[in-house]
Chain A
Amino acid sequence: MEKVSVLFFPDNLIAHVEPGTSLLRAATLAGVELKSNCGGDGTCGRCLVKVKDGRVNVKSTGSISQRAKQAGLVLACQSTVNDNVVIDIPKDSRLDEHQVLLEEKDILMERDEDLAAGYDFKPLCRKVKLTLSEPSLTENVSDLNRLQAALRNEMECGDIHIGLHTLRGLADTLRTGDWRVTVTVTQLNGCADIVHLEPGHAEKPSYGLAIDIGTTTVVVYLLDLESGMTLGKKGTYNKQARYGDDVITRMIHASDDSGLNDLHLAVVNTINQLIDELLSQSHVSEDDVHIAVVAGNTTMTHLFLGLTPKYIRLEPYIPLASVTPPVKAEELGLKINPSAYVACFPSVASYVGGDIVSGTLITNMAKAEEIVLFIDIGTNGEMVLGNQDWLVSVSCSAGPAFEGGGITFGMRAMKGAIEYVRIDSETFEVEVSTIGKSRAMGICGSGLIDCLAKFRDVGIIDRAGKLQTDINTPRMREGDDGWEFVLVWGDVTECGKDIIITENDIKNLLRAKGAVYAGIRSMLKAVQLEEEMIDKVLIAGGFGNYINIRDAITIGLFPDLPPEKYVFIGNSSVKGARLALLSQDAYREAQELGKKMTYLELSVGNDFMDEFVSALFLPHTDMSLFPSVVANNDQKGE
């Protein structure tokens, strides 16, 4: 059948597709990124587009509002093309540049901790300059033996491996350099592997990448492995997002081979794009990057390596592999030196992945005497508790609410997202501050937490999260989905619509915060510890950085501990990967950590469920767990 063309405005990008293709797919092919939290199921209502010219077949209008329908908007995922069409993409359907966690001091409340403490600088990969003795009729061992002997003199290593591809060039390289040669050696778990040879003594150092693959975002650091310096950091959203917001939707998409390939390519492309930017910015050639260390959750690691995550989703939740062997970059299509090793952090269980192992490594909690609680809140909430003697981990499905999923005006932390709110307790007038100080488009995780705390504070909601419809302000009104509160009036928002929070949004947030807190409680219960016995709480994650601790305690997301016990550590996953890249000991330690951590499956038994429902309240139905919140309320009451 003849292909039809789909032209997208305002980008002026065109896709030629088979008739019957969805607009969402066409947009992807044209290179336009649309929001699609549900992965094309027609349920999230985010991929709204306008048909400017031509006709589309609309399978379903999902839950889009009457107003949107009248404005001629359709769901891109539910509309297929039969003929040439012209499509207009509204601004708020577009996946914008993402504010990814990149350790910028001014926006983070991160404390400057020496996170690499205790590990010697021994990068996983480095260049060794060798001068070999020239062979003669009497000194006639092979070129390779000669090289290996010289290398052993220079560095401590057991077996020395060399790939066939590298070996083929050995003889000429040695002679071209007049027996002076630069060897790039990778050392993973003790044995040395020669991955690259250069004639003469090279000036350029070896480079490495630390990569964090999150469900939502991907971050790459470029490192000079000679000096240990971080040359650049780049982050962007994971291109897999177009196949769904959460891991479950993606696992479903990946259950057949072509779907798996889609997701594999999407994440590799995401990383390659970041590598491209980093390399050109630092003027490094891709051939000089000889190693990459990757930390990601179990599903992300599977998808990155092209392993099927199908059985992770199904009871009894079994991953294909928790420890994966290092592979060569060319096998994955990563745009660095083809013979470079790519090593992934091991996972603990299906829902506690390499990103958590990496975080645990950087927190040094496995060497601490004090009891540390490490919380990583991304699309899922994962936690590790313990010290040098023991470590337990859990994962709870907090859901994507803190990242904007399932919230009417929820959005990721990008430009225009409301971060903080101030609400007058008399007039209920609202002041908001947004990321980038631009016009408000939606609300991100920290803004949502702040809203919940402030709403409770001034009495817009009660402790059960119910909107108090009797308060006297036009901001409280009945909308399409029941009662809602207007945060920002439409005349000053980017999208022109009123930014509201509905009762349903609040319920979703309560569930998300309830899950995290219930996870903490369940874990404490399992090891029979009280909250007060936690000496330090380390918070990581893409949204963790912007949270106001007081707010988070007020709504019962985190335990009621003194604020000074809390430390933000930013993106711990990529930092752990960087540490492993710079220290063989740290890399080994990470392998050990993967085996050492005890995983608690929360779906076994009733404890978690009991804790969860008790936590669906502000802050909790057991007020004795939140003495400072009670004290604060009492003070206000007086």
Chain B
Amino acid sequence: MAFNAVKEKYRSKVGEVVLGATKEQGGTRAYTITVGGEAALPFLHFEGDIPNRPVVALEIWDVEPTDWNDCFKPFYADVWNDPAAWAKKCVEEFGADLIVLRFKGADPDIKDASPEDCAKVVKDVLAAVGCPLVVIGCGKPEKDNLVLPLVAETAAGENLLLGVAEQDNYKSLTAACMVHKHNIIAQSPIDINICKQLNILITDMNLPANRIVIDPTIAALGYGVEYGYSIMERARNGALQGDNMLGMPMIGNVGFEVWRTKEANASAADFPAWGEQETRGILWEATTAMALLQAGIDVVVMRHPKAATLIKQNIEELMVKTSFDE
């Protein structure tokens, strides 16, 4: 007797978000990236169309990341004084699909870079690479509300992904994305309801749902990755069941979270049983990302080039179409 795969029927699918804009579209990107669009749970190709593969971004800062582990030096030390060169290296040497530019230097406690400085960095990075760009603020709302609108204005037409909007601070960024036609990262603190509420609040301001990428907040392996997993899973299930206000692609700052953990950073001298530090850190980052891929993440933001390579490989394997309809 022939084998019949039991297939789940989904009522809806995840919306697609286009990042970047080519010359014809009013920007200067060499290509655009479309994320989302899944019509089934992650990689269940036989149940529904997965039109876009998850993409891998590498994270760069506008200032030298002095607190990063030494293992990053061989890769980035020559470029991390120059965000444009850093971005270029990430794309050309390490194969990043896109770049996440984090304005750590805008933090008043770090370098207090002015909005104008930040806007200039964005310009430089855009000139250096052809990939779509994600720009994230320093995390202090008062400062970000000055920096991000200017970035949005400077890069008008480039269709950036700007973040982050939070429940308590979404208005100025949403307005900036509306006026200058960018996409927005809606970040919620591991809470499916706030996630949804924020999406409603943003769409209420008339920014279309297909310009929102959800950051439901994730954690590293061993630090609560399962919570991030569970929220992503719930959001995705909601999306597939027809909840439009959860039907957006998702982004997660994997590298940022993983490289804060003791397990990624502690030296082998301190913990001989844990094995060599860099390999351990890379695997820690890759494992965290792999788990989230299974939950439905669309934009994986990595930090270590080797971890990024592993994940790209993993994604390729997962994107091989499975079918039972022989």
Which residues of A approach B to under 8 Å, CB–CB? 462-464, 466, 470, 613-614, 616-617, 621-623, 637
Q: Could you say which residues of chain B place their CB within 8 Å of the CB of A621?
A: 193, 196-197, 200, 245
Q: Does B167 contact A (CB under 8 A)?
A: yes
Residue of B nearest to A468 (CB): B171
Say yes or no: B197 contacts A463, CB within 8 Å.
yes
Closest 6 CB pairs of A and B: A613-B193, A621-B196, A617-B197, A464-B197, A621-B197, A463-B201
Tell me the complex Cα distance, A622–B197, Å.
Answer: 9
| Pairs A–B under 8 Å by Cβ, sample size 18 | A462-B201, A463-B197, A463-B200, A464-B167, A464-B201, A466-B167, A466-B168, A614-B193, A617-B197, A617-B200, A621-B193, A621-B196, A621-B197, A621-B200, A622-B243, A623-B200, A623-B245, A637-B206
> Please, how many residues of chain B have a CB less than 8 angstroms from a CB on the other chain?
12
Tell me the complex Cα distance, A622–B206, Å.
Answer: 17
* Chain A proximity of B206: nearest CB distance (Å): 8
* Chain A proximity of B219: nearest CB distance (Å): 21
* Chain A proximity of B324: nearest CB distance (Å): 34
* Chain B proximity of A630: nearest CB distance (Å): 11
* Chain B proximity of A142: nearest CB distance (Å): 75
Tell me the complex Cα distance, A617–B200, Å.
Answer: 10
Write the B196-211 contact mask toward A (1 if CB under 8 angstroms, else 0).
1100110010100000
Q: Could you say which residues of chain B place their CB within 8 Å of the CB of A623?
A: 200, 245
Tell me the complex Cα distance, A462–B196, Å.
Answer: 14
Chain A contact surface mostly: loop
* Chain A proximity of B170: nearest CB distance (Å): 9
Tell me the complex Cα distance, A621–B171, Å.
Answer: 18
Contacts of B166-196 to chain A: CB distance below 8 A:
167-168, 171, 193, 196
* Chain B proximity of A468: nearest CB distance (Å): 8
* Chain A proximity of B320: nearest CB distance (Å): 36
Q: Could you say which residues of chain B place their CB within 8 Å of the CB of A613?
A: 193
Residue of A nearest to B204 (CB): A463
Residue of B nearest to A462 (CB): B201
Tell me the complex Cα distance, A466–B196, Å.
Answer: 15
Tell me the complex Cα distance, A462–B201, Å.
Answer: 7
Q: Could you say which residues of chain B place their CB within 8 Å of the CB of A463?
A: 197, 200-201, 204
* Chain B proximity of A460: nearest CB distance (Å): 14
Q: Could you say which residues of chain A place their CB within 8 Å of the CB of B206?
A: 637
Q: Could you say which residues of chain B place their CB within 8 Å of the CB of A637?
A: 206
Q: Could you say which residues of chain A place their CB within 8 Å of the CB of B245?
A: 621, 623
Tell me the complex Cα distance, A621–B191, Å.
Answer: 13
Q: Could you say which residues of chain B place their CB within 8 Å of the CB of A470?
A: 171
Apart from A614-B196, A617-B200, list 18 A-B contacts with CB within 8 A: A462-B201, A462-B204, A463-B200, A463-B201, A463-B204, A464-B167, A464-B197, A464-B201, A466-B167, A466-B168, A616-B193, A617-B197, A621-B193, A621-B197, A621-B200, A621-B245, A622-B243, A623-B200
Residue of A nearest to B245 (CB): A621
Tell me the complex Cα distance, A282–B206, Å.
Answer: 64
Q: Could you say which residues of chain B place their CB within 8 Å of the CB of A464?
A: 167, 197, 201
Write the B242-261 contact mask toward A (1 if CB under 8 angstroms, else 0).
01010000000000000000
